């Protein structure tokens, strides 16, 4: 029977969130504009023209939400700093009101016996920096250096666990290649420099934090999906291998000193245009842990018509398999396979599952939210985490995405991942059945 004792006494349990998805207060108390503040104003980019300007009002209600987390026996809370709340223009003048706000959040966590885990960059680049090229401009190394140094100057004594970037393959891919996320850029000419500069910033951020606080635990988080071929043909298997390298290895392997996966993903050779002498060494980061964020698997088919990788994913609905409201297949074995895959890298010291969860069609009825699908999802995925750990994998923590329902990027507010239901009109909080299940599991 699944219980927390299977994971050992030192296993870390928590919940995750991010600034843009929860804080609201997008233009108050000195905060500068971010790329998402701009992007949501474009037509047909966000479902139902939703925006995050209010979100869950975490900025004003963080004490209530952290108290809810405590009531659910949660001891670790992952959240992010909004870069433009600390440095409104991305560089230069520090916004003391932003510093004071995050000081209050951290203090509230500790008063509730909750350990804060801070993500430095969760997709919300200051718009002032995007106007200068954003992640495509190599100057971002200097901008990011100033941002991280500022964070360490004010918070080094308050925070022991840091994550540099959140899912860099997503914010570079969706934001600088596909154009479906902020800042809405498209094409390899934007994607490849953004990738390289993010890889360099990932390592740079690690070095800066360690310089300020050598004993800090520092990692970065990586989205990952278990990749399987749709058929056994050689070209389909190769297509799946290319997608695996793109989605699962593009940012980790450079950090481990393995460089970019040129052999399996030839298109990445074009990134050499943006590399300077010495960059291969600067890409390396001896991370204390890696955060993996797994939700599903992808089944890949060869496709001549898809440029660069000649591969496409077959949607879960088309394959007629059980899936979440996001259209993602529920495939618990995926998290097992990804933990095992990353554990096989000799340079990976420790794995924390920094996101795992599911969106379903939740309804508030008689002040209750009954979500058995989410309970089954979490328990089945946790069973696979336990299996990987039992087999000697390096996994040592698990964070549910997310504490509350929130602004789900391009999906707006329709997709609910939270253990706590948010009525976005009244901002009333209701712990879902899955939240009570997690509370009992952690007791």
φ/ψ region of 327 (left if φ > 0, alpha if ψ in -120 to 50, else beta) reads left
Dist. CA 277–CA 334, nearest whole Å: 38
The answer to whether the beta carbons of residues 112 and 106 sit under 8 Å apart is: no
Task: Single out the catalytic residue among 23, 130, 167, 384.
Answer: 167
Give CA–CA dist 418/226, Å, rounded.
Answer: 23
Catalytic residue among 298, 355, 384, 408: 355
Is 425 labeled as catalytic in the residue annotation? no
Give the 3-state DSSP-derived string for 414-443, with helices as H, strands as E and coil as C.
CCECCCEEECCCCCCEEECHHHHHHHHHHC
Residue 285: other Cβ atoms inside 10 A: 24
Report the candidate in 243, 224, 190 with the shortest Cα–Cα distance to residue 335: 224
Q: Which of 296, 398, 403, 418 shows the shortest CA–CA distance to 353?
A: 398
Q: What is the dihedral of CA 302, 306, 307, 310, to 10 degrees?
A: 0
Alpha-carbon gap, residue 416 to 32, rounded angstroms: 28
Question: Cis before residue 240, ω within 30 degrees of 0?
Answer: no
Contact assessment for residue 176 and residue 191, using Cβ atoms and an 8 Å cutoff: yes
Place of tokens 């929130």: 406
Pick left, alpha or beta for residue 166 (phi over 0 → left; psi -120 to 50 → alpha; otherwise beta).
beta
Number of other residues whose CB lies within 10 A of the CB of residue 104: 12
DSSP string, 70-120: HHTT--EEEEE--HHHHSTTSSSS--HHHHHHHHHHHHHHHHTT-EEEEEE
Tell me, yes or no, if 167 is annotated catalytic: yes
**Are 417 and 357 a contacting pair, CB within 8 Å?**
yes
Evaluate whether 335 touches 272 at the Cβ level (below 8 Å). Answer: no
Query: Rounded to 5 degrees, what angle do the CA atoms 257, 258, 262 make?
Result: 140
Tell me the catalytic residues: 167, 355
């Amino acid at each position: 029977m699944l219980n927390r004792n299977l994971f050992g006494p030192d296993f870390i349990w928590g919940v995750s969130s991010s600034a843009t998805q929860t804080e609201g207060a997008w233009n108050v108390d000195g905060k500068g504009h971010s790329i998402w503040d701009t992007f949501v104003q474009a037509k047909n980019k966000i479902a139902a023209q939703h925006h995050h300007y209010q979100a869950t009002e975490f900025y004003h209600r963080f004490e209530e939400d952290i108290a809810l987390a405590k009531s659910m026996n949660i001891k670790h809370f992952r959240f992010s700093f909004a870069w433009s709340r600390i440095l409104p223009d991305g560089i230069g003048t520090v916004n003391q009101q932003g510093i004071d706000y995050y000081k209050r959040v951290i203090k509230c966590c500790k008063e509730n016996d909750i350990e804060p885990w801070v993500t430095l960059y969760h997709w919300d680049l200051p718009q002032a920096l995007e106007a200068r090229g954003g992640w495509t401009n190599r100057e971002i190394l200097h901008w990011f250096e100033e941002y991280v140094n500022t964070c360490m100057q004010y918070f080094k004594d308050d925070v022991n666990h840091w994550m540099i970037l959140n899912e860099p393959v997503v914010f570079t891919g969706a934001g600088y290649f596909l154009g479906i996320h902020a800042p809405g850029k498209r094409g390899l000419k934007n994607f490849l420099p953004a990738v390289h500069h993010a890889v360099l910033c990932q390592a740079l951020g690690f070095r800066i934090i360690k310089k300020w606080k050598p004993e800090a635990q520092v990692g970065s988080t990586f989205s990952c999906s278990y990749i399987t071929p749709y058929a056994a043909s050689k070209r389909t298997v190769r297509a799946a291998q290319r997608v695996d390298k793109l989605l699962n290895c593009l940012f980790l392997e450079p950090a481990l000193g393995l460089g970019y996966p040129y052999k399996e993903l030839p298109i990445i050779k074009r990134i050499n245009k943006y590399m300077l002498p010495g960059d291969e060494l600067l890409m390396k980061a001896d991370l204390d842990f890696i955060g993996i964020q797994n939700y599903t698997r992808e089944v890949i088919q060869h496709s001549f018509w898809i440029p660069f990788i000649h591969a496409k994913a077959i949607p879960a609905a088309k394959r007629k398999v059980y899936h979440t409201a996001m259209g993602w297949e529920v495939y618990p074995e995926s998290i097992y396979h990804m933990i095992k895959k990353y554990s096989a890298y000799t340079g990976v010291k420790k794995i924390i599952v920094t996101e795992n969860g599911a969106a379903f069609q939740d309804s508030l009825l008689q002040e209750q939210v009954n979500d058995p699908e989410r309970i089954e999802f979490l328990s089945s995925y946790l069973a696979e985490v336990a299996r990987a750990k039992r087999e000697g994998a390096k996994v040592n923590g698990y964070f549910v995405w997310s504490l509350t329902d929130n602004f789900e990027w391009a999906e707006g507010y329709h997709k609910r991942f939270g253990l706590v239901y948010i009525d976005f009109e009244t901002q009333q909080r209701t712990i879902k059945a899955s939240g009570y299940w997690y509370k009992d599991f952690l007791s």
